[in-house]
A and B are shown apart, each in its own frame.
Chain A
Amino acid sequence: MSFESPRESSGSSRKRGRRPSAGPSSGRGANSRAESSRATGNLFGVSGRSSSSLSATRRAPFADFSSYMETKNQKLRGQFDADASASSYVSGDGDSCQSGSGGDRGIFCGVSIFVDGYTVPSHQELRMCMLKHGGRFENYFSRQTVTHIVCSQLAHSKMKNLRSFSRGLPVVKPAWIMDSVAANRLLNCAPYLLDQFTHATQKQQKLSAFFTPKISAQSGVNPFFEQIAEQITSIESIGCDSDQTLRLRKCDTTGREDSDGLDGQNLGDRSEAEDHSIGMKDESSIIQARQEFLPKSSSSREQHSTLGDPNFVENYFKNSRLHFIGTWRNRYQRIFVKNTSGASERKYVVNESASSKPIIIHVDMDSFFVSVVIRRFPELVDKPVAISHSDNSKGTAEISSANYPARQYGIKAGMFVREAKTLCPQLAIFPYDFNAYEEVADQFYTILHEYCPKIQAVSCDEAFLDATGVTDDPEGLASVIRKQIIDTTGCTASAGISVNMLMARLATRVAKPNGQFYIPSEKVEDYMKELPVDALPGIGYTLNEKLESHNIQTCSQLRQIPKEVLQKELGKKIGEMLWNYCRGIDHRMVREVQEMKSVGAEVNWGIRFRDLNDCHYFLKSLCKEVSLRLKGAGVRGRSVTIKVRKRKKGAAEPTKYLGCGECESMSKSVKIPSAIDDEETLTKIGKELFASCHVEPEDVRGIGLQLSKLESADIRHGNNVLKSWIASGLARNSEYLMKDGLVSNPVLHTGSECSPGNTGHACSLFRSAPSSANQVQMTSSETQFSSLPPVNELDIDVVKGLPPEIIAEMNEIYQGKLSVFISKHDDKLCQGKDGFLAMLNLVDKGKQAMHSDTTSYETSSHIYDKEDSSSHANVEANVQFQHSSPGNSMTRNVIDSSVPKATSSLDIDRSDLMPSSLSQVDAFMLHQLPEEVKIYLQEAIPAHRNMEASIDPSCSSINESFTTIEDLKLHLWIGKPPKWIRIFSNSRSLILRSISGTHACNGADGLLSSTLHSLSLSIPSLSSGEEECDEEILLIGSEFLRQYIELKVDTDIEELYICFCVLKRLKEFSVFFSRLYDNVLPSLQDAVCKNYGGLLQLSFAE
């Protein structure tokens, strides 16, 4: 019975709770449930005291348990108060603590603790502390009365669910109370928070914990103070004098209490420290101490900023040197390049008499990042100084720049601070001062622009001057410039003077630090002879390794190797570069404006994500940054690349604090049809790209986002054209869907929407030649953007990587457009060359016409009207190429016949029409071309002289194959890849080309069935044009299939079966396949019958 009763009481406590309870035992059981189980421990802990209250219960039964508890708690508080008043009078230090907090209340005034579980100073001791110092001690947990929960350790389940356990109250270690008593004031409980401790011991801090404000009931609580405290102790361990630490401690405390006023206070503090530092012996340690505080305080300010959520990316780039250098260029171009004409008075005179001998001066500031910072500390000029984010001597921050005295100790950029400190303990380390850098860089360039008109900015502290024709005394000019730089900026610069950029740069190497060196053209030879190879710019570690493996150490050794060998070994470009460089030849010109190739941002430090949400939040801010940069540079990009660094499997936490450690990097990119710079689109694409990397958020250690294929954001109507390209894709799809209409009515007029200012661009292309049926048609058809991304914006690679079921599902959603899209993509890959050649041909003609006359004119001419007598079908392409722009409209009708059946004479014409190099191509025009055409153009043009050679054989091989069809027998499937692929891809038949293309795309298994299957997805698009069904092609196709049957019949009728099932399906779409099927079926059945004694059952499905 006794065993039964507690179970019963707890089991039916709800019912019983309403009734007055009879005995204490059942009362306790129900009570502990009502008050939540965590109070049970205390019931026993304070049993000595509660016995009286229990006896009270016995005497006077309560209405219910809440009233019982109320009475009980009241009584306990009464006892506590009585004890407190007694102890505070009795205790010796009672008065001191009262005076300490400025009232007659104790330091724990307003603090009410609840002790959970076992603690190292026991409950009783903690209670005594609270008694003595004006706090309260609660026996039972209640959200209303308790302010702090004290415990030494927590059960795992409570730990996991800390919030529901603590109800948002701070959970602190008992040491907080003891330390507060010792310090005789209420310390901030933040460093004593239990969860803080566990975080710290578990792992490195998370990104979110580092940069987002802690949501905590306590104000001003953040992990930063912990760090400060930590750093203070580290300074102590270095052996600073105690006075300094004390002072630091003080400002630390004040900073804690009043973080808003930190900035001003910090400044005052700084000047104070400066004053002291002059008189003190241990200067560097003072600076150290200050450095300790400076960057941290600023970050703490950011944490408390009210600018919305302080975001990591912003802070990161605010503190990034590379970012500074990167964005500096934009600034430079804005300020200097645009204003060169209106710049201040120039001190150079274009000296007509000066010889036109090339003179290039390379000016480079000496250890720029350091010298700018130490301008204000002249006493440090010949002391070792380095620049780094943090000056924790145990830290893993990297040295980003070191001055010459420091370099003598072997300190290099990229070294960890702790290594540097072991090499040179007295090394002074300063943080970046980006404002000062900007200021000095501006001054630097102002000076350069005064003396020289032609300047190529390499970096914020480095530039090439083209002084050709400016002066006859380059050395004099250089020294004047250098002197002025020192006078204005207080920093030294070195200069190298020579005949080209390479030699000037090499000369600077000799000149450094703070000097100048002139290599006249006659001495170039001698200088280069002795030069070690790795001194040449562009030779990195790997290249040097390679050269060394060939026993090449100096330039003179390198010279003995012929150019061809170099190019063969190291690649065309690098080989040529090396060959030139070791001879002191450099054809690069000093260019004032350097084209930007890509814009992006990358973060590889401090990346720790808990889940995908963190990730997406980060991506969003990264995209914002990139978007801002794009807008700042005034460009938009059409190719987005994401670079993800993923923690290498099994790699531990990196030694560098929050660094990326051992990583695998991967990158994915996507081309988008229209150039973008807005954050939203970028974020969308970024997320998609990230998802396609399949990286666990926990493993991400770095993310970079980059846009390339930049185009200027100014050209509004360029953008418009691109939009029309997007539209054209959709139109194309719908076109294929209503293919019958197209076949019956081959003349289709399309035109692009003109922008309001008549700056539009209309281009209409149409043709009936099936060979170009897949060419892009520009159209003005309204693009209906639904909530789904348009088919064209889907990443084809991603789509193709999806499982077939999902593709099918998506295809349904897109109403069949997706499969068309995929197949079209495949087609493009394979037949791009041929098709686009035709297209290109026409476009080029239009272009030529454009170039030939700039005024408004309208002309129409027939270029070719050619009938190939040998051809069975005369393919006619009627192309109308129209280009209209303000004040310049041009229409050109080109009637081009038999493009695919190009005879050699046509080839010559075509190549003659091609511009001889890319420079002759209108860049604007090039921009408007679709990507594939562009790539093709770029490939084709430089090599155009070889084009005849490359085209002719294929043409002749087709002709050959037509005439000697008998030769094809038994050969088509031989070889790897089989012979037919080449024949088909050179064929004039679109279908055959598609077959070979799809086959090539399908890759490894080489089964015709899978090829045909993919083809069946795209067949509606193939049959859109006029059906070509001439006997020759049919013959080839049949022969091709027959040989396949022969090949497979013995071993794999399954394959043949599938092939013919698919072919049967294709019959419905295409006359060609229909005839092909009918042609070959008898051969198949014959073969099967011969081998298996039966016929394939192909009508099964019906």
Chain B
Amino acid sequence: MEKSVSPQEETGRILVEFLEVAVSSILFLRGVYHHGAFQRRRYMNIVVHKACHPQLNDYIHSAVFGLLPFIRKGLVDRVAVVFYDREQVPVEKFMFRLALNQSQSSMVEERDLEFSLRAFFIKLSVSEALTKPLPPGCDWEITAYFHALPDVADKEQRRWIPTDTKLWQHPPLITPIKSMGSNPLKLQLYLEHPDPGEPTHLHTL
């Protein structure tokens, strides 16, 4: 472990870890699965919920950690947890907008970062009121928005595939949940909902 780790790597690691837990928490919050499918865990000294099902855990873990090399390179703009209705039309997106300071030279104090990240969980746990009830039979997935498409060389990195999610016709409505703007890492979490005038809305009926 004495091998020197660059600050970007360290911040990336913390961020990815955070994302993994945050995705679990969002799933718990939105009630996609029964609450009994989650167990209470402690992370950053607060209570979070982690899925019990190993496959689900594995999906979240591999998806998020698969992003790590891209995040380190600063390619990732946003990471989203998207909820779809039956027609695979997104009804709600939890967006993580992240910006890693690439020129960060000094080592990040994990504790400082933790302090800020913890606020996300706290805010997340009380933001159910901001959301709308999900339609029955909904689905979800993790999507990442890249600044540019990466040239996929590594096998590991190939687990992320380009996608063409259906987009809303109107600009979505944004509800910010939490923002942090520290030096090594800028992170914002906000909700996107379809515009009320969105025609796809009718399909869900």
A residues near B (Cβ < 8 Å) are 1051-1057, 1088-1089, 1092-1097, 1100
Contacts and interface: CB of A to CB of B under 8 A. Distances in A.
Nearest to A1055: B179
Interface in B150-205: 171-179, 181, 186, 188, 190, 192-193, 195
Contacts of B190: 1053-1054, 1092
B172 A1095 contact: yes
B171 A1089 contact: yes
B174 A1094 contact: yes
| Shortest Cβ-Cβ A-B pairs, 6 listed | A1097-B173, A1054-B179, A1054-B176, A1094-B172, A1051-B181, A1052-B179
Interface of B: 95, 97, 99, 130, 171-179, 181, 186, 188, 190, 192-193, 195
A1054 B120 CA distance: 12
14 contacts: A1051-B188, A1052-B181, A1053-B188, A1054-B177, A1056-B176, A1089-B171, A1093-B172, A1096-B175, A1096-B176, A1097-B174, A1097-B193, A1100-B130, A1100-B173, A1100-B175
Contact of B174 (A1051, A1052, A1055, A1095): A1095
A790 to B, nearest CB: 37
A888 to B, nearest CB: 64
B171 A1097 contact: no
Given A1051-B181, A1052-B181, A1092-B97, A1097 B175 contact: yes
Dominant secondary structure at the B interface: strand
A1096 B179 contact: no
Contacts of B177: 1054
Nearest to B182: A1051
B171 A1051 contact: no
B175 A1051 contact: no
Nearest to A1056: B176
B22 to A, nearest CB: 16
A1054 B124 CA distance: 13
Nearest to B97: A1092
A1053 B176 contact: yes
A1097 B174 CA distance: 5
Q: Give the most central of B99, B171, B174, B188: most A CB within 10 Å.
A: B174
Contact of B192 (A1057, A1089, A1094): A1094
A1094 B186 CA distance: 19
A1056 B179 CA distance: 10
A1057 B179 CA distance: 11
A362 to B, nearest CB: 64
A1055 B181 CA distance: 11
A1093 B171 contact: yes
Contacts of A1051: 99, 179, 181, 186, 188
Nearest to B175: A1097
A1048 to B, nearest CB: 9
B174 A1088 contact: yes
A1055 B178 CA distance: 9
Contacts of B97: 1092
A1095 B175 CA distance: 9
A1092 B97 CA distance: 9
A141 to B, nearest CB: 56
B174 A1092 contact: yes
A1052 B190 CA distance: 10
A298 B192 CA distance: 84
Nearest to B173: A1097
Q: Give the most central of B172, B178, B186: most A CB within 10 Å.
A: B172
Contacts of A1092: 95, 97, 174, 190
B176 A1057 contact: yes
Contacts of B130: 1100
A520 to B, nearest CB: 72
B188 A1052 contact: yes
A1052 B99 CA distance: 12
A1056 B190 CA distance: 13
B8 to A, nearest CB: 19
A1096 B181 contact: no
B74 to A, nearest CB: 15
A159 B68 CA distance: 66
B173 A1053 contact: no
A1089 B178 CA distance: 18
Q: Give the most central of B173, B178, B195: most A CB within 10 Å.
A: B173
Q: Give the most central of B97, B99, B175, B178: most A CB within 10 Å.
A: B175
Contacts of B176: 1053-1054, 1056-1057, 1096
A1095 B171 CA distance: 6
A1057 B127 CA distance: 15
Nearest to B195: A1095
A109 to B, nearest CB: 72
A1057 B173 CA distance: 12
A1094 B92 CA distance: 13
A828 B95 CA distance: 43
A1057 B175 contact: yes
B47 to A, nearest CB: 22
B181 A1094 contact: no
A408 to B, nearest CB: 64
B50 to A, nearest CB: 26
A24 B105 CA distance: 89
A364 to B, nearest CB: 64
B185 to A, nearest CB: 11
Contacts of A1094: 171-174, 192
B188 A1054 contact: yes
B178 A1054 contact: yes
B116 to A, nearest CB: 12
Q: Give the most central of A1055, A1057, A1093, A1094: most B CB within 10 Å.
A: A1094
Contacts of A1100: 130, 173, 175
A1053 B174 contact: yes
Nearest to A1092: B174
Contacts of A1052: 179, 181, 188
A1093 B77 CA distance: 13
Nearest to B177: A1054
A388 B52 CA distance: 78
B179 A1095 contact: no
A163 B192 CA distance: 70
